[in-house]
Every structure is written in C-alpha cells, then in structure tokens.
Amino acid sequence: MTDLSLTNSPIVAAYRSRTPTSAKLFDDALEVFPSGVVHDSRKLDPYPTYVERAEGSRKWDVDGNEYIDYFGGHGSLLLGHAHPTLLAAVEGQIGRGTHPAACHELELRWGQLIKRLIPSAERVRFTASGTEANLMAIRLARAFTGRAKLMRFNNHFHGWQDHVAFGTIHQSGGGDVPGVLQGIIDNVIVADPGDVEAVRETLETGDDIAAVILEPTGASSGRVPLSREFVAMLREVTEARGIVLIFDEVVTGFRISPGGAQALWDISPDLTALAKILAGGLPGGAVCGRADILAHLDFTAAADKGFQKIPHQGTFNANPLSAAAGVAMLEQVAETDACETASARGEQLRQAWNRVFADEGVPWAAYGMASCIYLFTNPDGLEIDPLNFDAAAQPFSLFDKTGAHRAVPLLHLALLANGVDISSKPAALTSAAHTEDDIAGTADAMRAALRMLKDEGAL
Ligand code: PMP
C-alpha cells in the first residue's frame, strides 16, 4: 500500500492544510492506540479527521471544517445526527439513572417494537452489539440442533468474534485471523455465494450443519449483491434439512425496509441479528426469531424439556439509555416515512454520482439498494456505462475482491477536502436528514474530487 504521508500529492497537501488539529491529535493517539485508532475502518492515511460535533446530515471537525456525512455512524443512523426526538428521549432518561440493574418498562416497549416491525420475531433477547447478537444466534442454532458446523459466505461480515472473524476481506484479506483456534475454523464452512450448486449440495448432503448465516442482501449489505432467488433457495434447503437460517440484519434491519430485508423479500429466517439503527445511534443489539429456538435461553423451557439452558448475561443488555433511543428510533421507523426518505436520497445520490462519472468520462459506477450506496471503481478498467450499470447482472468476481482502484484512498481525502465524508469501502449511507441540496452538493464534491485526481495523474 502506498504510504500517502510520504507522497507529495497536492490532494494530501490540501487535506493537511485544512486539518492541522486532527494531525496533532493523531500524533498523540499513536502513543495510546495501535495505529492511533479504535476501529479498523477509521484508519485513514495520512491521518483521520477528528470530529467535534454532528447534527442532521452534517458533522464538523476540530478545525471547524463542515462535512456532509455519509459514514452514518457506521450505519447506526437513519435520522441523521442528533435528531431532536431521539435526543429528547435520551435526555429524558439520563436524569432518571443509566443503570437500575433491574427490569424496566423501556426494554419491554423496545422488544415489542421489534416484534411489531420484524416479521419473524416471536421472541427477542437484547445484547450490547451486533457482534454479540450474531454470536448468540450461532450459539442458539448449535444448541437447538445439537450440530456443530456453521456455513457462512465469503466476505459477509458478522462482527469480529472468533466464529466469523476469518474469511472476510474486512478483517484479514480473506485469510485466517491470528488467535482464532483451529478447532473453531474446522467447524465453519466458508462458502462462495456465487457457486449456487455447490452451496446447495453442501447443505443437502452435510449432516452436521447447525446454521447458515448471511447478510441477506449480500456482503456489506449489498456491496456484493445477492439475488432474492439465492436467499429463497437457502430458505428452502435449510428448512428441508432442519438447519437454522440466520439473517444478519445488523445493517439492513430498519434500513432496507422498516421490516428489513426479510420483509422486503418476504422470506422468513429462523433467527435475525439486529443492531445499529435498532438502538438509535447508541450501543445495542438483539437476536430475535422463533420462540422454540429462543426457548434455549428460557429457564422454564429448559427445566420442562430437560435440556441445559444457554447462560446469558451482559451488563449493558437493553440499558435504559440505549432502550430510550431505540424506542424513539423504532417508533420513527414504524410511524414516519424515515426509511422511505433515506432510500429516496440513496437513489438520488446514485443517479447524481453516475451522471458525474459519465460527464467526467470516469468508468466508475454507484450502485446499491435503498439507502446503501457503493462505488464500483473498476480497477481492471472494464468498459462500463455508469448510467446503465446493473450490479446484479455482473459476475461476483467483479466485486468479490479487495480490489478497488488505486486512486480510492486519494478519492476519500479529495472528498473530505471538498466537504464530504464517505466510508472506506468506498460506500455511502444516506439518512432521512439528507436533503436534495445535500445530494446536489455531494455531486459537485465528487466532480471536484475527480478533477483533483485527474490533475495529479491518479485517474
Ligand atoms: N453484522 C454486520 C452486517 C455489520 O455490518 C456489523 C458492523 N459493521 C456487525 C455485524 C457487527 O456489529 P457491531 O459493530 O455492533 O458489533
């Protein structure tokens, strides 16, 4: 990887001249955190921006620069930053205490909203994160079936815990992860979602498969798109074979539609992992699904049916602040057009960026579903028409690699220098707080960024 801090790129220079305070903070952070960051996706060369505050579709860094934000709290924001209704809910709760170490009414209302919105949710168990929600879903599936093996798919991301940490480009370039025991790896089948027949055959013939877990719209919630037919095939085969089908709807839940991918596609998984939007921008997760599977967390069911219950603790499960934000958030999802507005802005952004790519003669394309936008940066220089790019019709191999155009790190900096923040995939998430003016401004920023890239020969 090129070390951007060592180049004399004018884009890096422009970025540096706008962000001296971030540079200084990052120098100090290197003495505290490995690589100076607390989350791998926030690593940015030559250094990340430090954000001071955020509101609506905007955030401001410590040097006073304003950004239209498409990182979207790693996907946890559907209403933008500091939405007044969510703020009021959290402020109303904080004075009443942050941890009663007791059952409380908000957890009940939060769980009831999940049951109302997510079609397959018969029972709910809260966790503190999406990683934990998936961990519990996998454990429930193994306990319920008495089988050992987990099938999951190349590059589908389910958090950083041991059973799902390897074989995804997010964490390891697709290889092993140091510290994950071979015994765990031996019980996980990492399948290629592009090879439909091999997947079907493994599920039809494997006799020790407890569960299949997937991101139902494809890796990174659609960066590598999956067809509904593929997911329907998984449902059919897993049902026939008594295998637990787990949808990881940590990103797609409440975003792709109010009821997630399962509502949009009318396919019912056995278990669903939720997080992010679930807790309205605060920490929180949940596993929900079939009552007979979640019964493995139930004292009475275990005693009555003579099985050993799965123990489950978690100091911050459904903590009152997250529950307050979560209830307010899910009420907005259920009762307003927040999801629809965020999706409409997503479609507008895809179209606006694609017009810019076409105008500028750059063979890239923006694609995705609903409020999830991905950039295909075409590292192999294929001939494509940005205005007619159908990601679903492309071979998986086109997306299923770490490869993005070598200019992508510079693109990110050039967009920041033009007042727009995206995530490093490169991807953008829209929210209901983004306006049509934001979209127009973001198209202008992309045009300016591409011209900066061309000027320095990076494109
Ligand atoms: N599943 C998916 C699909 C995710 O995108 C993420 C987070 N990016 C996780 C699970 C893990 O969630 P958390 O970061 O809350 O542990």
Write down the domain spans for the chain. 4-81+338-455, 84-335
Per-residue confidence at 131, pLDDT binned at 50, 70, 90? very high
pLDDT tens figures, 319-361: 999 999 999 999 999 999 999 999 999 999 999 999 999 999 9
Q: Is the pLDDT of residue 73 over 90?
A: yes
Residues 6+ apart with CB under 8 A from 13: none
Taking the CA of residue 275 as reference, the ligand 1 atom at the shortest distance is 15
Cα 365 to chain centroid, rounded: 20
| Topology annotation, domain 84-335 | Aspartate Aminotransferase; domain 2 (3.40.640)
Length of the chain: 459
> Could you tell me which of 75, 78, 61 has the C-alpha nearest to residue 26?
61
| Model pLDDT for residues 175-220, shown as the tens digit of each residue | 678 899 999 999 999 998 888 999 999 999 999 999 999 999 999 8
By most ligand atoms within 8 Å of CB, the mutation choice from 126, 127, 131 for ligand 1 is 131
Does the Cβ of 251 fall within 6 Å of ligand 1? yes
- Token code pair at residue 42: 């926030």
CATH of domain 4-81+338-455: 3.90.1150.10
- 253 Cβ below 6 A of ligand 1: no
Q: Which of 126, 110, 160 is nearest to 312 (CA)?
A: 126
Q: Is the CB of 59 under 6 A from ligand 1?
A: no
C-alpha 227 to ligand 1 mean position (Å): 21
Predicted TM-score (pTM) of the model is 0.97
Question: CB–CB of 208/173 below 8 Å?
Answer: no
Residue of the CA atom closest to atom 13 of ligand 1: 130
